[in-house]
Amino acid sequence: MSKHGYETGRLNLPFVGHCTFGKQPICLEWDKIEADVAILGAPFDMGTQYRAGARFGPRSIREASTLFSFGHGGAYDFEDDITYLPVDKVRMVDIGDADIIHTDTINSHANIETGVRAILKAGALPVVLGGDHSVHIPCIRAFDDQPPVHIIHIDAHLDFVDERHGVRYGHGNPLRRASEMSHVTGFTQMGIRNVSSSNREDYQAARDAGSDILSVRDVRRLGTEGVLARIPEGVRYYATVDVDGFDPSIAPGTGTPSHGGFLYYEVLELFQGLAKRGDIVGIDFVEVAPDYDQSGSTAFLAAQFLMNVLGFIFHERDQRAG
């Protein structure tokens, strides 16, 4: 009897079987990761200032990703006439979740960092499923022994708060924390909008830290090419995507929605361009809180986006490898 129990193979419909990211194999021994991409869940949401629930982000994204799992040698896109993520070339594993310690932010973050370091050590691309945006802090910290990165940040909020009431590791602080790390060379922050996105001091601090801050309307005015032209070329990018950077119409399931956000292709085309312009070496996708979206659209967005972007990254790597 063959694997999964049927001699003639499986149809393996999306709704059938365990939920791993894209129905990829599980690898729970973190010192034995052999893959090009490794998915890590970071179900931490104690950093939220309004609605919690992002702790179920990883499970919901994995479940949604099964819809995008059934390929035939890879994922064919007729628009590009490319088969992305060819199964024989791009190995993906799902390494489970970082261990979360309730009431304890410091140790929970440390555990996330451990996971990302394990992925990096294995030479794989880390894709972290949040959790709230504070998980970006340990994710980016884990890159401190890697070559420098430029951060691509999609969000409704600037997340550049330094400290309030002693809080330095909440979901309003991650980009500020990143700005303090020497292996982070700059930022392009996109989607930032409206009166709840920042205050004047934090905005100034981000600018002083060398950030290029673009609202949704700025991005639309500039166009994909115009935006890309402002981003350093040929460097390593780390992408941190807060799902509330997208519009509430397609991403209602999040803690702090803000109207007027990005639509799907706006961000997707940006990332397709980005994959050509440099190398995306790490991703965290955060703030999916599935209990606020009974339709599941938000989790489908996360899963579809990640599948698409991973396809772009490895296609370009393959192209570059010639």
In the annotated binding site for Mn(2+), the residues are 133, 155, 157, 159, 242, 244
Give dist(CA 141, CA 116) in Å, integer.
Answer: 9
Do residues 61 and 129 lie in contact, with contact meaning Cβ atoms separated by under 8 Å?
A: yes
Give the separation between CA 297 and CA 25, rounded to whole angstroms.
25
Nearer to a copy of itself, 41 or 130 (CB): 41
Q: Which is nearer to a copy of itself, 73 or 147 (CB)?
A: 73
CB 144 within 8 A of CB 113: no
How near is the Cβ of 182 to a copy of itself at its closest, in Å?
24
In the complex, least distance from residue 235 CB atom to a copy of itself, rounded to whole angstroms: 25
For the bound state, the minimum distance from the C-beta of residue 186 to a copy of itself, rounded and expressed in Å, comes to 18
- Considering only CA atoms, which of 314, 321, 295 is closest in space to residue 92? 314
CB closer to a copy of itself out of 26 and 229: 26
Integer Cα distance of 8 and 93 in angstroms = 25
Q: How far is the CB of 273 from a copy of itself (least distance, A)?
A: 15
Feature table: binding site: 133, 155, 157, 159, 242, 244
How far apart are CB 107 and a copy of itself at their closest, in Å? 7
The amino acid present at 179, given as its one-letter code, is: S
Q: Looking at beta carbons only, is 153 or 236 nearer to a copy of itself?
A: 153
CB atoms within 10 A of CB 313: 27
> Do residues 310 and 124 lie in contact, with contact meaning Cβ atoms separated by under 8 Å?
no
User: Which residue lies nearer to a copy of itself by CB, 86 or 186?
Assistant: 86
Residues 6 or more apart whose CB falls under 8 angstroms from that of 189 comprise: 153, 155, 158, 175, 206, 211, 212, 213, 214
Q: Where are the alpha helices (DSSP H) in 184-263?
A: 200-208, 216-230
